[in-house]
Chain A
Amino acid sequence: MHKFLIRSFVSSLVLLFTLTVAAVAKDVKAAFVYIGPTGDHGWTYQHDVGRKAVEAAGFKTTYVEGVPESADAERVLRQLANSGHDIIFTTSFGYMNPTNKVAKEFPNVKFEHATGYKREHPNVATYAARFYEGRTILGTIAGTMTKSNVIGYVASFPIPEVIRGINSFTLAAQKVNPNIKTKIVWAFTWYDPGKEAEAAKALIDQGADVIAQHTDSTAIVQMAEKAGVYAFGQASDMDKFAPKAVLTSVENNWGPYYVDRVKAVANGTWNQKDTWHGIGDGMVVISGLDSQMPSDLQAKVKKLQADLASGKVHSFTGPIYDQKGNLMVAEGKTADDGMLAGMMTYVKGVEGDIPK
């Protein structure tokens, strides 16, 4: 009798436990903090596409958009942590310190910071995408498609992420066409369609016939379409905005990572780590290639994409020299992640100085 009681007690406990776990798994709430509006059709928009994937996977999500990278961010984070969210994604570089600060006060909430490097507490993880791999592909296309040998590049702010992109792009373009010049214009904004269009127009007026961008709006590809030059989409597939101009786009695909991490919280397997995924892991996606590209170039790009994914090709393979001719990466070597994360010098062939 006793045995039976104990057994039924234990089995009901197990049942209860399983039910609770199942309930908890369903109850995990994720929050997202955005720098811009979800309607930017760029950086924030793509993060929100990722959030919707989490929602589709059966979890509850909240988001706060247009959060400045200041003390406001701390207040928003604290409020989200206080209101029952189990995991909070902070999706801009400037949230690095607020994220770590608030994480200390809420050890039971998981924090995930995009594009940063500080993980001061065990409940802070960081993640970013190797966008520079996408830019290797864009550089290869630009170097092949240009006729004027002048390639325009609209840049946002002089931070390693952007410099790395310029370098990766230029190295790839030079490899297929040693005569190209990359002209860079700093717009000092991530997101101002008018200004971005004006920057692109200036480059086109100065002879650039391919325009690359590291700002977020679709204004640049539209300007390229109007002027009859080529361009590349940024963050999302921008082909429908400029069907003739856009040769391909580099898309940010956060969904799978977000779903993984929220599931990990649900299963109790979440751990602190630094994730830096590229084409191979599907975080960086190359959109369809435009039919204006000759078939041998398309084949070349597809092969390059596969090689970057498998790791056979690395965007930064030596010998690489800086502007002054100093060796940065020796022949046969590749740049390590530390060097990439802190890259603040132009490679040889990029014109001008990095604004200080």
Chain B
Amino acid sequence: MIVDINFVGLIIASIMASAVPLILASCGELITERSGVLNLGVEGMMIIGAISGFALMTVTGSLIIAVFGAMLAGVLISTIFAFLTQTLITNHVATGLALTIFGIGISAMIGKNFVGIPGKEFPVLFESLKDTIPLLSPILFGHSIVFYFAFALPFITSYFLKQTKIGLIVRAVGDSPESASNQGINVRLVRYACILYGGAMCGLAGAYLSMIYTPQWIENMTGGRGWIALALVVFSTWNPIKILIGAMIFGGLTIIQFHMQAIGVRIPVQFLTALPYIVTIIVLVVISRDSRKIRLSTPSSLGKSFHKDN
């Protein structure tokens, strides 16, 4: 088979499109975790975003209201988590799991009336430039605004954490809430904000699935992507740029295995299907071999409740 250069461009573009929800949710969760909060409710917040976005789009007809509404829905549901873990000091892991179960259940309930309704077309940018540059055109042009935002987000997140004062405060709260508190920082307020921000990004990731990637509502449509996004945060050792790489590897392996099947490569299909998961496990194993690095990059107070009498 002759490998057409545009064909390679098309494959890379598909990989990037499949990586978008992972990048959004992981970058949101990364901020939450950097503030010392472990929120396992990513899947639940994503599915709430997916149904909210789709429902608002269907009811109001406005894509802008739908996208921001989905983010707001993510914020609202993560407020429950924030209230429970920060104000009532409940266990992060148990509360996060409950949030996921709650999200899946309530989205199915709301979604009953939205099954079997086709979505609206989401506008894409730079469509006219699609055939101008070989290889690069399909990668660079003809995508939705959310796509471009997702690929900018890891860099913005990295800049925010390293170069801004608020970023420094977030990291301080995550690494040593006691010291931060002694410096006069309101730990609870910072953590609330980081949880709510994480909720907004997960809501956007869900809306991308139900409004842009596969424009429709069906139950459980996030299909475990929230869990992969959670794994990616660890995989990246809390580094946003590495999230980008991880999401591309994971999305890429799924798509490349479909291409290998269609070309007729004689590798057992079951192996190809399992490949993304196998590679994820291998990378996690390789990363965790370096215990010093893990210790240095993990937010020290991750998942621990901070109790301050005031």
Contact = CB atoms under 8 A, between A and B. Distances in A.
A45 B117 CA distance: 13
B190 interface: no
Nearest to B112: A39
Contact of B115 (A45, A187, A195): A45
Interface stretch (A77-85, A94-102, A196-204, A253-261): A196-204
Contacts of A184: 261-262
A194 B223 contact: yes
A202 B268 CA distance: 18
Contacts of B266: 353
Contact of A355 (B111, B216, B219, B270): B270
B25 interface: no
B116 A45 contact: yes
B298 to A, nearest CB: 30
Contact of B262 (A37, A45, A203): A203
A65 B251 CA distance: 30
Interface string B249-292: 00000110011011110101110010000000000000000000
B216 A241 contact: yes
B218 A193 contact: yes
Given A192-B223, A198-B258, A241 B118 contact: yes
B157 interface: no
Interface stretch (A51-59, A172-180, A215-223, A298-306): A215-223
Interface in B198-237: 209, 213-221, 223, 225
Most chain A Cβ neighbours within 10 Å, of B112, B268, B273: B273
B110 to A, nearest CB: 11
Contact of B268 (A38, A219, A355): A355
A194 B209 contact: yes
Contacts of B115: 38-41, 45
Given A198-B18, A202-B258, A356 B112 contact: no
B259 A206 contact: yes
Interface string A322-336: 000000000000000
B269 A186 contact: yes
A60 interface: no
Contact of B11 (A45, A205, A208): A205
Interface string A20-59: 0000000000000000111111000100000000000000
Interface string A152-196: 100000000000000000000000000000011111100111111
A222 B259 CA distance: 19
A355 B14 CA distance: 25
Contacts of B270: 188, 355
B10 interface: yes
Contacts of A311: none
A39 B210 CA distance: 14
A352 interface: yes
B111 to A, nearest CB: 6
A338 B9 CA distance: 47
A3 interface: no
The residue in A36, A187, A201, A236 that gathers the most chain B C-beta atoms within 10 A of its C-beta is A201
Contacts of A199: 258
Contacts of B10: 205
B42 to A, nearest CB: 16
A240 interface: yes
A206 B263 contact: yes
A196 B111 CA distance: 21
Interface of A: 36-41, 45, 152, 183-188, 191-199, 201-203, 205-206, 208, 217-219, 222-223, 236, 240-242, 351-353, 355-356
Task: Report the 10 A-B pairs with minimum CB-CB distance, sorted nearest first.
Answer: A202-B258, A37-B219, A355-B269, A193-B214, A39-B115, A219-B214, A39-B219, A241-B118, A185-B261, A205-B10
Given A185-B262, A223-B214, 18 more contacts: A40-B218, A41-B115, A152-B262, A183-B264, A185-B258, A187-B258, A191-B218, A193-B209, A195-B254, A197-B214, A198-B255, A199-B258, A202-B255, A202-B259, A205-B10, A222-B118, A241-B118, A241-B216
Interface of B: 7, 10-11, 14, 18, 108, 111-112, 115-116, 118-119, 209, 213-221, 223, 225, 254-255, 258-259, 261-264, 266, 268-270, 273
